[in-house]
Structure 1
Amino acid sequence: MHISATPTEQSLPFRPADFATLTEALDYAAQGETGCNFFNGRGRIYDRLSYRKLREQARALARQLLGLGLARGDRVALVAETDPHFVRFFYACQYAGLIPVALPASVKIGAHEAYVAQLHRLLEASDANVAVASEGYLGFLKEAGEGLSVRMVATPEAFYALEEPALELPTIEAGDIAYLQYTSGSTRFPRGVIIRHQTAMANLHGIVAHGLHITGKDRLMSWLPFYHDMGLVGFVLTPVAAQISVDYLDTREFAMRPRQWLKMMTQSKATIAFAPSFGYDLCARRVRPGDIAEYDLSHWRVAGIGAEMIRPQTLQHFADILEPAGFDRRAFVACYGMAECTLGVSFSPLWQGFSTHYIDSDHLSDQHEAVLMDTGETEGRGRHFVNCGVPLPSFEVEVRDDDGNALADWQSGVIHLRGPSVMSGYFNLPEETSDALCGGGWLNTGDIGYLADGMLTITGRKKDLIIIHGRNIWPQDLEHLAETQPEVRVGDALAFSAPDHEGEEMCVLVVQCRERDPNRRHSLVRRLTAIVRTELGLDCYVELVPPHSLPRTSSGKLSRAKARLDFIAAHDEERLNAVAEELRVRVATA
């Protein structure tokens, strides 16, 4: 049976996400003809869900869920595959007054136990009442739910088969919790960001009306996972709030066939798509000269870039290759955001491309001041930082020093934000909430950067977060794995990221080792390399150092930031090339 995609343009008057709740937004979008469309790896549509049908099915499912005896505010865990089931269940929870929790749908070969353990921690942290997964993930989810008080773990079809009771759906208020967004960094210490309807709608309005200037003529296309905030908020909630159609390609399909992204952009004439740096890089690497004639990217007006430190070389390479296919490099929109602010914080000006500051990184590190350098200068360690644009109008932004004092332009410090898009806290984690939300409603992002002429530039990671190919990894997870080995004591390991021989970020684990026997040292390195790859699906360079050599702060705490600087200082280009080759061998033989 032929399935046609939902249209781009429609007769419904456009509204820029100016609703009080997510349900009110869907109620309005359901009056039009637009919706979401799901494509397979060959670029063929296999299902479509108009917003009218989504609303109808979500409200019926909401009654079925409430028929299980679930109470307002109960959590519903959803393994977030890129399919209509997730969207249907997410909005059913909105109408039922339940709280959806998106779980990752990314089990790697040989990582069965690690994936089940991750799901278990998320189910436990969210205190989920029911859990939903497709047949392919159901076994993992059932195993993860053992020992927990999850009332029902089943496939979507099992829930659809439930009786639909004749009951009134609750009235949804702006202050109700809409969903929990678990930050993707820590597998051992998950933190669920509480997002209320008013919080979500404030950010969606900012994105639609100010960040991207979306109109009723736009169309979205995405391969981003639904369990990531950029995929969920940017490409599940935004199209509904803006009444526009969206086309989805599964993340795994993109990873296997990245050129399909460009084919779908050509086919649908989509105008807006986002990706982390690695997505643009992977796509550009796979494009062959003979492919260019197949693409027409002239409709692509917003090529968003975010979720990790932005490398200008990657964007320039992508634009150079695809300019003959109609891609305009002015479409690049660099942005900054985080789950604790729902999603978007700042966006670079539209249709101007991305801009950079060439900064003396030595001076930035030593004096916490961004000093511009001429690109021809060789003195110092110059580095290009991509400007992440102007904060949305609803945000107040301050860059503060370690004593909490607001800094002037070009002074580097910790970014603090305040506004209606900021979370109300972490679910069931009062201590972590009080650490993040400081006095006066300000959020301490932990990110390092500076303001200049109203533009925000990010220069450092969120706290010690490691970001590899758009994926967040908490260093504590790596350090914990090291400490499980008999040769390694607690506090003997530090993990961080550092630039490799090609300027890409690589993961590094530095371990203090008292063992002197070369064979045993080699065995420890190989073991740690294999464990990290099995548990986290990550290639990590392991370096053994003598006891008492890990750097510490003035207060005696281990310093990942200093360890990173020491590693960079000790590894020139020749040494980094050797490191890269050594890592390749270790991974191949682990």
Structure 2
Amino acid sequence: MGIFGSMSRYQRTELNTINDILYHRAQGQTAKRAFIFLQDDGSERGVLTYAELHHRAQAIAADIAKYASPGERILMLYPPGLEFVEAFFGCLYAGAIAVPAYPPRKNQKLGRLEAIIKDCHPALVMTTQNQALRDQPTFEENMGYSLPWLCNEQVTSDLRPLPTLEVASPDDIAFLQYTSGSTGDPKGVMVSHGNLMHNEEMIRLATEHTEETVFVSWLPMFHDMGLIGNLVQTVYMGCQCVLMSPASFLQKPVRWLEAITKYRGTTSCAPNFAFNLCAEQVTEEEKAHLDLSSWTVAVNAAEPIRAETLEVFSEAFAQCGFSRQVFYPCFGLAEGTLIVSGCQKSRQPVVLHVDAESLTKDKVLSVDAESQNALALVSSGHEWYDQEIVIVNPETNERCAADEVGEIWTRGSSVAQGYWNKPEETKQTFGAYLVTGEGPYLRTGDLGFLNHSELYVTGRHKDFGNLR
């Protein structure tokens, strides 16, 4: 029967979901190393080929089916490691809805995690054995009831025949991405298989990724940029992803750049602060051993993008082969699956100088960089694929003029299905209409403007937390 067991259900030409694509990769790129996880010293703690990932996901899916029916939620509480990757695709193979979340710190009350559990009512908790030994007693004490727990180590990887699993359709919910608005109330964004496939294709188009792309990432895998932008995009493209823990990077930022050097990383994503941290802490002696010339897409997203950061990092690491045009500023959010806008690859980041005082009055006035009140804003790129972005007056629902700041609205096939179990919030956030009747649009809650089709994000709408 071989490594693919009885998965004949995937033997079809249509690649409608990421499940189909993983099976396709496992057949055509059997021995290719898909994921590598690094220890703090840079050595490889674990490796998954595409065939191994498929088989592990298949075995995990069979065990999930003992506890949960298709469509039921699986809470994923994993420390950094390849176990998360196996379990996430195992959930997808089982037709269950994955719920990635950050495991609680030791001796910490559940708090936000308890709210997530009460909202989505998981049928099963998945994690590693060590994490379960630490967290399971805390769960039972705080929740007042017990849930079944399944650890990766319990799942055997023999070649036993496995049951036929559910075939996912593009309309099925793949996972819930929990996000908190300003009210602090966790909301599970329902991301369908169709949303996921559309956004992955948009990422491919925007970044020009290929099978030769090499990701290097320290981002949390339960977060949308780490999960969708790194893990799922890797499988979508059939390329390779080198992972390390967030703590490994934060404790010693040069480890990130050393991994890019060693594995000839081509794409790596991070929030703005990470580039500042490297510029501040990486020493000249450490720079002497770095070669960043392979890096062609340096995604800067997830928080405000500072023009100064682009300059400081580029200057600090020019001697290591890094070029400023490698920076890839973009804009996205969980409710849009991930990416909403992005720039052209290998183009110098576009910086627009505007009058800071005018901006406080929601007016856009371009000025010279040397102007006394000049504020440098970095473009987050433009629309891709069939995604549409409009700037709207949030009080009147009218399109803003070209020189006005308004709320960023978007629509397209990447916009998620709404918030789990929250119909009113879903209607308010995902069901916005212009005064002309055009819609529905997703209200992002972010403020900005368009200039020559380039999106500039300027802040948050102060009343948006009340709407969510």
Q: TM-score, normalised by structure 2?
A: 0.89
Give the 3-state SS of the residue equivalent to 1:194 in structure 2. Answer: strand
**Offset at 1:359?**
1.2
Determine the C-alpha separation between the residues in 2 that align with 1:463 and 1:88.
Answer: 40
Note if 1:377 corresponds to 2:371: yes
**Corresponding letter in the other structure for 1:432:** E
Number of the residue aligned with 2:177: 181
Note if 1:457 corresponds to 2:450: no
Note if 1:436 corresponds to 2:458: no
Alignment of 1:307-346 (within 5 A): 307-346=302-341
Determine the C-alpha separation between the residues in 1 that align with 2:247 and 2:369.
Answer: 39
Determine the C-alpha separation between the residues in 1 that align with 2:290 and 2:150.
Answer: 42
Determine the C-alpha separation between the residues in 1 that align with 2:101 and 2:240.
Answer: 25
Note if 1:299 corresponds to 2:294: yes
- Give the conservation status (yes or no) of the 8 Å contact 1:63–1:164: no
Number of the residue aligned with 1:126: 120
Determine the C-alpha separation between the residues in 2 that align with 1:240 and 1:442.
Answer: 29
Determine the C-alpha separation between the residues in 1 that align with 2:72 and 2:144.
Answer: 15
Number of the residue aligned with 2:71: 73
Number of the residue aligned with 1:387: 379
**Corresponding letter in the other structure for 1:433:** T
Alignment of 1:138-157 (within 5 A): 138=132, 139-145=134-140, 146-147=142-143, 151-157=147-153
Structure 2 vs 1, CA of residues 262 and 106 (structure 1 numbering), >3 Å: closer, same or farther? farther
**Offset at 1:351?**
1.1
Determine the C-alpha separation between the residues in 2 that align with 1:85 and 1:463.
Answer: 40
Structure 2 vs 1, CA of residues 157 and 219 (structure 1 numbering), >3 Å: closer, same or farther? same
Give the 3-state SS of the residue equivalent to 1:241 in structure 2. Answer: helix
Figure out how many residues of one structure are paired with residues of the other and give that number: 442
**Corresponding letter in the other structure for 2:413:** P
Determine the C-alpha separation between the residues in 2 that align with 1:148 and 1:176.
Answer: 31
Larger Cα-atom Rg: 1
Q: Which runs of 5+ in 1 are unaligned?
A: 1-17, 466-473, 477-556, 558-590
Give the 3-state SS of the residue equivalent to 1:391 in structure 2. Answer: coil
Determine the C-alpha separation between the residues in 1 that align with 2:272 and 2:462.
Answer: 20
- Give the conservation status (yes or no) of the 8 Å contact 1:118–1:187: no
Structure 2 vs 1, CA of residues 262 and 161 (structure 1 numbering), >3 Å: closer, same or farther? closer
**Offset at 1:148?**
6.0
Determine the C-alpha separation between the residues in 2 that align with 1:338 and 1:275.
Answer: 14
Number of the residue aligned with 2:11: none
Determine the C-alpha separation between the residues in 1 that align with 2:158 and 2:419.
Answer: 33
Q: TM-score, normalised by structure 1?
A: 0.71
**Offset at 1:216?**
2.1
Give the 3-state SS of the residue equivalent to 1:349 in structure 2. Answer: coil
Determine the C-alpha separation between the residues in 2 that align with 1:187 and 1:45.
Answer: 41
Determine the C-alpha separation between the residues in 1 that align with 2:186 and 2:447.
Answer: 22
Give the 3-state SS of the residue equivalent to 2:380 in structure 1. Answer: coil
Determine the C-alpha separation between the residues in 2 that align with 1:339 and 1:148.
Answer: 31
- Give the conservation status (yes or no) of the 8 Å contact 1:194–1:423: yes
Determine the C-alpha separation between the residues in 2 that align with 1:346 and 1:42.
Answer: 36
Determine the C-alpha separation between the residues in 2 that align with 1:351 and 1:270.
Answer: 16
**Offset at 1:373?**
1.3
**Offset at 1:133?**
2.6
Structure 2 vs 1, CA of residues 124 and 412 (structure 1 numbering), >3 Å: closer, same or farther? same
**Corresponding letter in the other structure for 2:350:** S
Give the 3-state SS of the residue equivalent to 2:143 in structure 1. Answer: coil
When structure 1 is superposed on structure 2, of 289-298 and 232-241 the one drifting more is 289-298
* Residue of 252, 258, 266 corresponding to 2:261: 266
- Give the conservation status (yes or no) of the 8 Å contact 2:326–2:346: yes
Number of the residue aligned with 1:504: none
RMSD: 2.3
**Corresponding letter in the other structure for 1:398:** V
Note if 1:281 corresponds to 2:279: no
* Residue of 19, 22, 26 corresponding to 2:22: 26
**Offset at 1:167?**
2.2
Determine the C-alpha separation between the residues in 1 that align with 2:193 and 2:124.
Answer: 22
Determine the C-alpha separation between the residues in 1 that align with 2:137 and 2:335.
Answer: 29
**Offset at 1:95?**
0.9
Q: Which runs of 5+ in 2 are unaligned?
A: 1-13, 434-438
Determine the C-alpha separation between the residues in 2 that align with 1:419 and 1:331.
Answer: 27
Give the 3-state SS of the residue equivalent to 1:390 in structure 2. Answer: coil
Determine the C-alpha separation between the residues in 1 that align with 2:158 and 2:71.
Answer: 21
**Corresponding letter in the other structure for 2:371:** E
Determine the C-alpha separation between the residues in 2 that align with 1:221 and 1:412.
Answer: 36
Number of the residue aligned with 1:516: none
Number of the residue aligned with 1:419: 412
- Give the fraction of aligned pairs with identical amino acids, expressed as a percent: 29
Number of the residue aligned with 2:85: 87
Number of the residue aligned with 2:95: 97
Structure 2 vs 1, CA of residues 462 and 260 (structure 1 numbering), >3 Å: closer, same or farther? farther
**Offset at 1:137?**
3.2
Determine the C-alpha separation between the residues in 2 that align with 1:21 and 1:352.
Answer: 32
Structure 2 vs 1, CA of residues 46 and 335 (structure 1 numbering), >3 Å: closer, same or farther? same
Structure 2 vs 1, CA of residues 326 and 163 (structure 1 numbering), >3 Å: closer, same or farther? closer
**Offset at 1:292?**
1.7
Number of the residue aligned with 2:246: 251
- Give the conservation status (yes or no) of the 8 Å contact 1:445–1:462: no
Determine the C-alpha separation between the residues in 2 that align with 1:400 and 1:290.
Answer: 50
Query: More relative contact order in 1 or in 2 (CA 8 Å, sep 6+)?
Result: 2
**Offset at 1:300?**
0.4
Structure 2 vs 1, CA of residues 375 and 239 (structure 1 numbering), >3 Å: closer, same or farther? same
Determine the C-alpha separation between the residues in 2 that align with 1:258 and 1:19.
Answer: 38
**Corresponding letter in the other structure for 1:222:** S
- Give the conservation status (yes or no) of the 8 Å contact 1:219–1:272: yes
**Residue deviations 1:386-421, cap 9 Å, x none?**
110011122111111120011232321011111000
**Offset at 1:312?**
1.4
**Offset at 1:29?**
1.6
Determine the C-alpha separation between the residues in 2 that align with 1:454 and 1:163.
Answer: 53
Determine the C-alpha separation between the residues in 2 that align with 1:457 and 1:405.
Answer: 19
Structure 2 vs 1, CA of residues 464 and 303 (structure 1 numbering), >3 Å: closer, same or farther? farther
Number of the residue aligned with 1:212: 207
Number of the residue aligned with 1:505: none
Structure 2 vs 1, CA of residues 44 and 202 (structure 1 numbering), >3 Å: closer, same or farther? same
**Offset at 1:235?**
0.7
**Offset at 1:326?**
0.6
Structure 2 vs 1, CA of residues 136 and 21 (structure 1 numbering), >3 Å: closer, same or farther? same
**Corresponding letter in the other structure for 1:168:** T
Note if 1:241 corresponds to 2:236: yes
**Offset at 1:204?**
0.3
**Corresponding letter in the other structure for 1:395:** Q
